[in-house]
Structure 1
């Protein structure tokens, strides 16, 4: 009996040691996964997705009369450029990076793919400007062309200010059928037209790096619900329902998913 009691006591004393060893081994096994997730979270691509979500939310809130909220249900894709930089005097150059989110076949929002914009303009303009831009694309054919690698020529566009948020529509089809609606908030002193001569194109390198799938084409990626990080859910949330500002009357500003 004494032997049995002693063995039981020794077994109980050994449990914390065994548990500590198991916990240490589990921590060592989990560490690489946590490190990989943290590295992805700190990546430039993840940061760009997060910045795009913030920009979209803030531009939606700032847009007068819920114009952007009303445009989102019509969208076949939305392009968010959280930082388009433009500098010039008589001539200007502008460049920036962002994300494109397209509709999935079931109507929901797909995984983000990366895009870039670059171009040059002319006219009487002076200064340095940084704008955050949202493009609402309502034509499926245009989305397919972008995802296949074709560039979208933004062309000449006219802008006007509405409570600090610019809304731009280009000439020709853009003023009649409106396949693209553009919303932007400018920060700077540029006095001319913001988006002349610009071209929007797919950034395959960033897209493959972010989704860690070099073999999948951007068009296939954009039609999935793949979410490499939590920032994608933040972006999808920014495309959905956001709170109303105080005094706007309703509790929520809604955009149908």
Structure 2
């Protein structure tokens, strides 16, 4: 008879991670849509102030969209998990207009030697049309449904990125004031349909949402930051 101990151990570890993340998730996870948008604006502003942010600024200017997660919490106890809530915007690089927002969350599991809790700000710069189109469904798996790579940092002349920018998404993450890597292969980004309904006042598909130009007092702080950050220097 097969032992159920390994399976029970995994369940206990997963339960511990979920409890740990529930305790340590910042208040923005349950904040209003307006609060989440403000948190996104603050995260982009803080990342743009880092010395290594020049290439991120350039990519935002020519991007087809961006997904911003102010706080992705990683918790580990042998088995690791990560979770964060954010927003998705579409960008027209020709007119510099932004569309949305659609509210999303990111979640994933990892294996290996890991322990502790860490919060990381995450910005996903969507590099091409297929990249933004991949977000139009209920969920997207990074690395499977769409290619994702760590975004280059540093000055434009020293970026070292491939000239054709093959990845659909370039990720930028920052922890404790420093750019840091965050493994995203296999992470799932899901659309929060209930939150979208609460924000827009009616049920809408992601495609419909991303056809509406971003505007209004709630979006003003984030739109201001995005325009400042992507402005040529």
Q: Scaled by the length of structure 2, what TM-score is found?
A: 0.70
Tell me, yes or no, if structure 1 residue 69 matches structure 2 residue 57.
Answer: yes
| Number of equivalenced pairs | 191
Q: Which residue of 1 aligns with 2:75?
A: 87
Q: Which has the larger radius of gyration?
A: 1
Q: Which residue of 2 aligns with 1:181?
A: 170
Which of 94, 100, 105 is matched with 1:116 structurally? 105
Note the alpha carbon deviations across 1:55-105, whole angstroms, 9 max, x for none: 111111125151211111221110000011110033200111100110259
Offset of residue 182 of structure 1: 0.6
Which of 91, 97, 118 is matched with 1:129 structurally? 118
CA pair 59-94 structure 1, distance change in 2 beyond 3 A: same
Note the alpha carbon deviations across 1:116-168, whole angstroms, 9 max, x for none: 101101233221100000000112122122123241324698869979xxxxx
Q: Which residue of 2 aligns with 1:51?
A: 39
CA distance in 1 between counterparts of 2:96 and 2:197 reads: 24
Tell me, yes or no, if structure 1 residue 254 matches structure 2 residue 222.
Answer: no
Which of 217, 221, 245 is matched with 2:209 structurally? 221
Offset of residue 255 of structure 1: 5.1
CA contact (8 A) 2:66 2:126 kept: yes
CA distance in 1 between counterparts of 2:152 and 2:211 reads: 34
Which of 136, 151, 158 is matched with 1:147 structurally? 136
Offset of residue 50 of structure 1: 1.0
Q: Which residue of 1 aligns with 2:86?
A: 98
> What's the Cα RMSD here?
3.4
Q: Scaled by the length of structure 1, what TM-score is found?
A: 0.64
- Higher fraction of helix: 1
Q: Which residue of 2 aligns with 1:200?
A: 189
Q: Which residue of 2 aligns with 1:238?
A: 225
Offset of residue 254 of structure 1: 2.0
Gapped regions of structure 1 (runs ≥ 5) = 1-41, 164-172, 243-252
Offset of residue 52 of structure 1: 0.5
